[in-house]
Structure 1
Amino acid sequence: MTGLSLRPMTPDEFVTWQEQLARDFAEDKVTAGAWPADGALDRARRFNAETLPQGLDTPRMLMLRAVLDDGTPVGQVWITFDHPRGAADCAFLYDIEVDAAHRGRGLGRALLEAAERTVREHGLPALELNVFGGNDRAIALYRSAGYAVTSQLMRKSLD
């Protein structure tokens, strides 16, 4: 496999990514039963705007693009160095994704490893993330990379 590295996301990439991120987040929340479909996209957009009030320039946030050695962009990662629930000495991975056209080639693992290196380079000894219950492929990747479940939210439909 060709090498993978991370570079800062460009302003144009950021705009495109923010819209897709909001769509994906809204869909995941609706599928998980956490949000009603009506208004979910607006709610996801508000979450992004509140979490990234200065966009790409929001302090202690990294929005990075994954690129192959030949410069081909293949994914992105969003990391914060201030854990959203206040966990000490722990970064949080808000988003990690390999672009659809590049999946199935081991790039997810390479991207996760690059994100972990970035966190270590910034002096933090731990990285935490959230994964939706139905995302079996991601859950398997995280488990095989040494991530452990630290909390688990469960739901049963009573219809």
Structure 2
Amino acid sequence: MPDLTLREMPASDFDEWYDAAVRGYADLQTSAGVWRAEEALRLSAEKHESLLPAGRATPETILLQGLRPDGAVVGTLWISLVHPRGVADCAYLFDIEVVEEHRSAGYGRALLTAAEGVVRDRGISALELNVHGDNTRAINLYASSGYRLVTQQMRKDLGSGRGDHEG
């Protein structure tokens, strides 16, 4: 596993990260068919505002950057020490992101391991996350790191339902 150190996300990097997180989540929800493209950015912004009402200073929230020994940022972590559905003794990993040019070099696993250590150091015994069903790379990373399936949603596209068949 590559050498990695963590630091709190500097204020100077927060706005850029936040904007990218809002756009990325909107894109994920659109590609998954959860939100329509024309409303996705607004819905994502509302979701992020509700989860990070005080930005970097949101209580029980940890925003970190992973750094190589040369100081290059290789990725970010967004951890909530309070589970969004109230699961006791369980933190939640809202986002783990490896900078594109550093992907496939083991930094995803290093960041995940670091996130687990941060949560464990806070006295919390479990960490949960969500992964989209078509993100095979992430699913394999989490499964090989000991994460187990807790819930699963499934969907079948049935067409518009309007005029697609004769009645």
CA apart distance, 1:5: 1.4
1:6-155 correspondence runs (5 A): 6-155=6-155
Aligned partners of 1:6 and 1:42: how far apart in 2?
31
Which amino acid in structure 1 is aligned with residue 119 of structure 2? V
Task: Say if 1:2 and 1:69, in contact at 8 Å, map to a contact too.
Answer: no
Aligned partners of 2:134 and 2:77: how far apart in 1?
20
Which stretches in structure 1 are left out of the alignment for 5+ residues?
A: none
Aligned partners of 1:68 and 1:123: how far apart in 2?
27
Which amino acid in structure 2 is aligned with residue 139 of structure 1? I
**Higher Rg:** 2
Identity of aligned residues (%): 47
Q: Residues 40-67 of structure 1, C-alpha deviation per residue, up to 9 Å, x if partnerless?
A: 0111111111110110000000010111
Task: Say if 2:2 and 2:106, in contact at 8 Å, map to a contact too.
Answer: no
CA apart distance, 1:31: 1.0
Point out the more displaced range, 143-152 or 1-10: 1-10
Which stretches in structure 2 are left out of the alignment for 5+ residues?
A: 160-167
Which amino acid in structure 2 is aligned with residue 66 of structure 1? G
CA apart distance, 1:2: 4.5
CA RMSD of aligned residues (A): 0.9
Aligned partners of 1:130 and 1:73: how far apart in 2?
23
Q: Give TM-score scaled by structure 1 length.
A: 0.97
Q: Give TM-score scaled by structure 2 length.
A: 0.93
Aligned partners of 1:56 and 1:102: how far apart in 2?
25
CA apart distance, 1:12: 2.0
Which amino acid in structure 1 is aligned with residue 69 of structure 2? D
Which amino acid in structure 1 is aligned with residue 143 of structure 2? R
Aligned partners of 2:2 and 2:157: how far apart in 1?
45
Q: Residues 96-149 of structure 1, C-alpha deviation per residue, up to 9 Å, x if partnerless?
A: 011001001011101100000000000000000000111110000000000000
Which amino acid in structure 2 is aligned with residue 43 of structure 1? L
Aligned partners of 2:67 and 2:142: how far apart in 1?
21
Which amino acid in structure 2 is aligned with residue 154 of structure 1? M
Hey, which bits of structure 1, 4+ residues long, moved more than 4 A?
A: none
